[in-house]
Amino acid sequence: MDDLIFRLRAVRFSYLNKYPALCGIDMDIAGGQKIAILGANGSGKSTLLQLLDGLIFPDAGSVEIFGRFLDEAALNDADFSGRFRSRVGLVFQNPDIQLFCSTVKEDILFGPLQLGLDRVKMKKRVDEVIASLGIGDLLERSPHQLSVGEKRKVSIATVLAIDPDILLLDEPTAGLDPQTSRHIMDIIIEANEKGKTVVTATHDLHIVEEIADLAYILSREKKIARSGPVEELLKDEELLRSNNLMHIHKHRHKDAVHIHPHQHLEHHI
């Protein structure tokens, strides 16, 4: 594949050697792709993103990035690690893990300062990110005192501030109001149009068509149930239902109860 960034082969990972989280994952991610990782709760989406971000390493199988194994030895190499950290950014599912400074401003500046990015460019970039996310009024606040949605926006800002080529986003729209959610989707789309590779984990089928061209569905067995173009996968009701991405809705209308399958594609009234 041209411009291959990530290459995963037979990747297995368990927490504490006893809680399996990924059970044999093969995946190729090329530069500029827009990918969704779909799957029910506990199917391994967050674990997969953490592997791609070099925070954890496979028990078996391999993760390669730019043709080099992404393992502890690679990340102990300061040169590689610096390049890797400036090119790959992960927005955690839980903002409380991402945000650890005493003010929002310090959190946003932390990554660029750590990576020693050019001061003038950094200031311009950070100002743009703050304006784009509309978080200028939060800068002096403690991240831990923010609302869930505000925390998520700040988390996203900390990663965008680094301006990585590869964005890994774990449920980036969870807990956001519709307008903010739309804005985050636009940021994802725009980043991809500028050539960035974007990998988003979500179980919100609502957003998938816009934020991804290709999707991987993780099964309850923590394997890839199917991968392919998003529009193809979203048409396959049986695939979605069997992977807990579509639920059966019960509607009560006076005496009658109607039951029908429901995808998270439209808002339900």
Ligand X SMILES: Nc1ncnc2c1ncn2[C@@H]1O[C@H](COP(=O)(O)OP(=O)(O)OP(=O)(O)O)[C@@H](O)[C@H]1O
Taking alpha carbons only, the member of 174, 211, 216 closest to residue 196 is: 211
- Does residue number 95 form part of the binding site for ligand X (CB under 6 A)? no
State how far the Cα of 175 lies from the Cα of 181, in Å rounded to an integer: 9
Q: Which does 39 bind (CB under 5 to 8 A by kind): ligand X, Mg ion, none?
A: ligand X
- Smallest gap from residue 58 Cβ to ligand X (A): 14
- Smallest gap from residue 23 Cβ to Mg ion (A): 16
- Does residue number 172 form part of the binding site for ligand X (CB under 6 A)? no
Cα distances (angstroms) measured from residue 220 to each of 80, 237, 240, 264: 35, 16, 12, 18
**What is the token pair recorded at 230?**
């998003």
Neighbours of 109 (CB within 10 A): 18
Only one of the segments 39-47, 191-199, 205-213, 247-255 lies at the binding site for ligand X (rule: CB under 6 A); that segment is 39-47
- Does residue number 155 form part of the binding site for Mg ion (CB under 5 A)? no
- Going residue by residue from 75 to 104, which x/- string records binding to Mg ion, judged by CB under 5 A? ------------------x-----------
Residue type, 26: D
Helices (H), the chain: 45-52, 72-76, 78-87, 95-98, 104-114, 119-133, 148-160, 178-193, 205-211, 230-235, 237-242
- Does residue number 24 form part of the binding site for ligand X (CB under 6 A)? no
State how far the Cα of 230 lies from the Cα of 213, in Å rounded to an integer: 6
- Smallest gap from residue 170 Cβ to Mg ion (A): 6
Q: Which does 203 bind (CB under 5 to 8 A by kind): Mg ion, ligand X, none?
A: ligand X
Q: Counting every residue, how long is the chain?
A: 269
Q: Which of 47, 98, 173, 243 is in the footprint of ligand X by CB under 6 A?
A: 47
- Does residue number 200 form part of the binding site for ligand X (CB under 6 A)? no
Q: Which does 259 bind (CB under 5 to 8 A by kind): ligand X, Mg ion, none?
A: none
Strand partners, 252: 257
- Does residue number 243 form part of the binding site for ligand X (CB under 6 A)? no
- Smallest gap from residue 171 Cβ to ligand X (A): 6
Say if CB 87 and CB 162 are below 8 A apart.
no
Q: Which of 32, 44, 54, 89 is in the footprint of ligand X by CB under 6 A?
A: 44
